[in-house]
Amino acid sequence: MGVRAGGWRQLVDYLHDPHRVARFQQLCGVSAVSSAQPLANGGCSHGAGARVTGAGEAAAAAARYRGATPGSLSKNGVACAPAAGYCGDTAASSSFPSPAATQPPAADPKKKPRRTNSLNGEAGTEFCIHNRLLYYLFSLGTELGNELFYITFFPFWLWNIDPYVGRRLIVIWVWVMYLGQCTKDIIRWPRPASPPVVKVEVFYDSEYGMPSTHAMSGTAIPFSLFFLTCGRWEYPYVIGLLLASSWCILVCLSRLYMGMHSILDIIAGVLYSILILIIFHPALDLIDNFNLTYKYAPLFIISLHLGMGLFSFTLDTWSTSRGDTAEILGTGAGIACASHVNHIFGILPDPPLVALPFSPPSITFNLIARAFLRFAVGVVVLLLTRAVLKAITIPLACKIFRIPCTDVLQARKRMEVELPYRYLTYGTVGFVALFLVPCLFNYLNLS
């Protein structure tokens, strides 16, 4: 028994080892910048892994390199000895290279992380991309789990394809993301260490890593779409299953490529998402029927989602996960309340069962033009709604709870500001997406 436990422990350690992630990044053409890299506090990194940071270390570096040549790099008055080569150059020398040797190559593959850290504003250090195709492919994969994707994909599905499937897909998405974010704050496992991992993305670096919520959403969304459309739409199901699998694999590998998760985080996220789907998918009929028909459904929906948000905010200190959780819960509450109102007024009614299964319509210019116009008008309305609510809710919450609003980022780290801002803003966005925007389409004859 002890041998078996030891074997499992070794497997967990192996899958959680950041060197496995770094090796995958190297295979995909990602490497740390090997030249001296000035840091924000005046330190420098030397080679692929050595780094000089902190006030004492910066002072030591200044003393060590005070006699550096005029061509050496410096930051905040601290002279730094350049390392040999650029972007993986393995040439080494104990003396300073000539100015010609320190020039980057003409086709400089150096890049900065895709977005700054949302907690402290750090932009991260430079890295090298040697395979641009994989960089853009995995950048697309990681965007499939970000806000920009959600605020465009879900509305497009609701407005142009099938509101019935869209409502139920959002229910699954809310529960998957909520449970994933809360589990992160309970387990509190850090993300892969850097070095050896190269942080291609640092936006979510302040969150914990286990499980990967990108892997969870990248599993739940495509496979839920597949199961919800099977028997409802006529299409080659083998192709649908292949597309769902490819979507899931792309998102999962993109998180390794970005240096945001270990292999264990990814596997746990996929398995956790499958478990949630097994539990919630059979209950979708009950949940959707309750949202549509129960007299006091809106009151229950708002109270439940708000209570879930309050619980999640007590799990840990501020991070992007808390704001994202409130955002997801608000969106889910807004969509569910709009579904109830739509049912009362007969907006976007579900077709009769005798009309099933649906056949995909013929692709014509008129169909594409109307779909694009609906999407463009709807997204503009949603972005305006979000901008207006954001401008109102943050100062209002600060005023009500007497919190200084001069620094918005610091103010949003308070639960009294972040929870109402996210919940009200995205709850309204969700309600507008499923109720007001379809009403606008009817008025503009775009339905």
Q: How far apart are CA 312 and CA 181, in angstroms?
A: 8
More confident residue, 376 or 117: 376
Residue 293: how many CA atoms within 13 Å on its side-chain side? 6
Q: How far apart are CA 33 and CA 45, in angstroms?
A: 9
Most confident of 47-51, 93-97, 250-254, 322-326: 250-254
* For residue 138, pLDDT beyond 80: yes
Residue 251: what pLDDT?
96
The two structure tokens encoding residue 359: 């056949």
> Lowest-confidence range among 188-202, 213-227, 284-298?
188-202
The two structure tokens encoding residue 126: 């430079």
* For residue 236, pLDDT beyond 70: yes
Three-state secondary structure of 352-391: CHHHCCECCCCCCHHHHHHHHHHHHHHHHHHHHHHHHHHH
Residue 70: what pLDDT?
38
Identify the CA nearest to 211 among candidates 272, 278, 138: 272
Catalytic residue among 16, 19, 46, 214, which?
A: 214
Q: How far apart are CA 339 and CA 348, in angstroms?
A: 9
Query: What's the whole-model pTM score?
Result: 0.78
Q: How far apart are CA 45 and CA 302, in angstroms?
A: 50
Told to judge if 261 belongs to the known catalytic residues of this protein, a careful annotator would answer yes
The arithmetic mean of pLDDT across residues 44-71, rounded, is: 38
The two structure tokens encoding residue 288: 């959707």
Residue 428: what pLDDT?
95
Catalytic residue among 16, 46, 261, 305, which?
A: 261
The arithmetic mean of pLDDT across residues 293-317, rounded, is: 85
Whether residue 260 contacts residue 205, with contact meaning beta carbons closer than 8 Å, is answered with yes
* For residue 170, pLDDT beyond 80: yes
% of the chain with per-residue pLDDT over 90:
47
Whether residue 286 contacts residue 337, with contact meaning beta carbons closer than 8 Å, is answered with no
Burial classification of residue 354, based on how many CB atoms lie within 10 Å of its CB (0-12 exposed, 13-18 middle, 19 or more buried): exposed
- Pairing status of strand 30-32 against strand 44-46: unpaired
- Amino acid 410 reads Q
Residue 319: what pLDDT?
65
Mapping DSSP to helix (H, G, I), strand (E, B) and coil, where does residue 16 land? helix
More confident residue, 142 or 312: 142
The arithmetic mean of pLDDT across residues 297-314, rounded, is: 87
* For residue 230, pLDDT beyond 80: yes
Told to judge if 214 belongs to the known catalytic residues of this protein, a careful annotator would answer yes
* For residue 177, pLDDT beyond 90: yes
Tens of pLDDT, residue by residue over 80-133, are 333 333 353 333 333 334 444 444 444 456 666 666 665 556 666 778 889 999
- Please identify which residue in the block is written with the tokens 């050496």: 72
Per the prediction, the chain carries an average pLDDT of 80
